[in-house]
Chain A
């Protein structure tokens, strides 16, 4: 008999991601993804100064601050056909790269590793054996026996005070947990090391962006970082060398720890390279521009349809009509008036909440479509598009990751395994390794450009009388982000943000096509409906980012999340 499971942390705050699945015979047969909170950034921005929009958009989401700031200034610059100076481009790129590295480390170690790692099991590990195991896979100096013993001691002390409760969302002892105690100990050690690493790379954002998490240095037309290599108060050589050190440090951790861990977990849970593919149309936009206009990039973008890499078509510039003309959003199953599918410039926001109805309207999230198709966005799309279009660094790191995973698995894994739940984690680590290399390159480009005598950081925007339209995209950690703006007489007349988690977490559309979360859950196993760890594994692999708006603590300790098996 089929059973309905609802995973719904809604009780903590007013809005969130809710997942409903129907399970029959231990397998998910149907799924619904619902965003439970309405956002309406356009209603806040209409009538405002386009030069200030980025200050507001970076508040849409508390985790993805920087990315909404950058997409916003790019959208306004696009509307004005305004180029930005090379220094501004490189400084933005370094901030974006550092933000992405920070985000990926936090996502894997602190938000989703515990879906795979059983913390309590690590208490039974033999540190010497764990160290020997690690030695065969990585030269990382933090894998020594003493390091691992220290983690075990900390964990023991923590457990003895009864505090392991924070890891309950990892469901320890769950039948779907299968790493050895030694591998679990290594993973917990890296969880702790990643706390320092993510803080370190975040400093790059702070050095270049001013305060974090909400950066201060952007402007429509460039950046506000005065450059004088000999002045303490400006961007100077001391600060630039600090940035370089931090990038190098992140690079070592990502290449020697993060990528290796993900490969090992991928190999040890090889069956999860077979679940969770879902929508295999992929979309990524190019990023890290190399020129003032945004016509050449260090990270590739494009589309793939039906999982067939031969269908790859590139998106080539900040003005590419292939992207501009093919994005639309459907509200057929979303809580807005009507059932239209429209281009973002032509959308209106008219909320119309009704009861949750899986047969009708059931989400605040709209359903974005590209040429009418649902698209998966995120690191997997980024890596597959790069792989298909022959992006050298992506191919090299993807091949290396698959070789490492194959070695641990004792079986040859080919790129097809990436269309899966664990494939998304692998792709995120591959992308992180690529970004480290590119960040180091853009650091050098910035330094060389400054040394050549160019200290320009800003081109003045001028707004025309009448109406102009613009779009700005950024390939964010969670995938393709685009902002769409209509400006009339220098004032915002319409604004839409089509965010990565909308592409992935969106509901069905007018043609009843499922969104990527929904499709990826169908076919997943569920061993214990009361503890649907497997559902969390697949949803977490997308790095969901939906409850972007508010922060209300519930210190009187009421129920904060629930799993209901009906």
Chain B
């Protein structure tokens, strides 16, 4: 069975841009397999995406998308949609780079043939931690969408027993109690 990579893109420090990583954490806590499916959260790697997609035949990307529609709505796009994006002059290595990474791999004769983008329309992308209500409400829908699309590709996800708690570490607020300070009894 060929490997399937499910990748979350986006920045957890930038509001709704953290939706991709959030979905990956939920998938990882909810499903234990099958073995050929991996859930990876890679942040905003630009062209550094290449190492994470080079050895997979099927790639599912979860990311925010700029599209017409209301915040929290989900849009699906295929490989052809991504490859049809115009390329333009690039000043920095951070331009999203999905198309460039796929093209570079294709030129070298590798990379995923089957690409699906599960896109969430964001409400607020700006410095600050936490999803908007609309995008937060869409997370379970995005998770189900990924599960359904994987099942359609012959990879039915196996629920984790017991179901885990997603590690949304970036939403933990403030200091945790155990900071060791020199004066006994001080926890803040």
Residues of A within 8 A of B (CB): 7, 9, 12-14, 16-17, 19, 38-41, 43-44, 47-52, 55-56, 59-63, 65, 102, 106-107, 110-111, 154-155, 158, 163, 165-169, 191-192, 195, 198-199, 202, 211-214, 460-465, 489-491, 532, 536, 539-540, 543-563
Contacts and interface: CB of A to CB of B under 8 A. Distances in A.
Nearest to B121: A552
A462 B178 CA distance: 11
Interface string B105-137: 111110000000101001001111100000000
Contacts of B17: 549-552
Given A47-B174, A539-B91, A553 B63 contact: yes
A551 B40 CA distance: 16
A106 B181 contact: no
Contact of A9 (B44, B91, B170, B182): B91
A552 B64 contact: yes
B89 A463 contact: no
Given A62-B44, A544-B91, A549-B11, A154 B109 contact: yes
Contacts of A65: 43
12 contacts: A44-B13, A60-B13, A106-B48, A106-B93, A166-B99, A166-B103, A166-B104, A539-B91, A545-B94, A553-B9, A555-B119, A556-B66
Contact of B181 (A48, A199, A465, A558): A465
B175 A63 contact: no
Nearest to A544: B92
A44 B105 CA distance: 37
A63 B96 CA distance: 11
Interface residues of B, number: 75
Given A550-B11, A555-B75, A560 B85 contact: yes
Contacts of A491: 175, 179, 188
B162 interface: no
A555 B67 contact: yes
7 cross-chain pairs, A with B, having the tightest CB-CB distances, nearest first: A62-B44, A561-B88, A166-B103, A490-B179, A49-B175, A551-B44, A547-B94
Given A552-B17, A555-B77, 4 more contacts: A166-B99, A547-B92, A550-B44, A554-B85
Q: From B45, B64, B105, name the one whose CB has the most chain A CB atoms within 10 angstroms.
A: B45
B92 A16 contact: yes
Q: From A41, A214, A549, name the one whose CB has the most chain B CB atoms within 10 angstroms.
A: A549
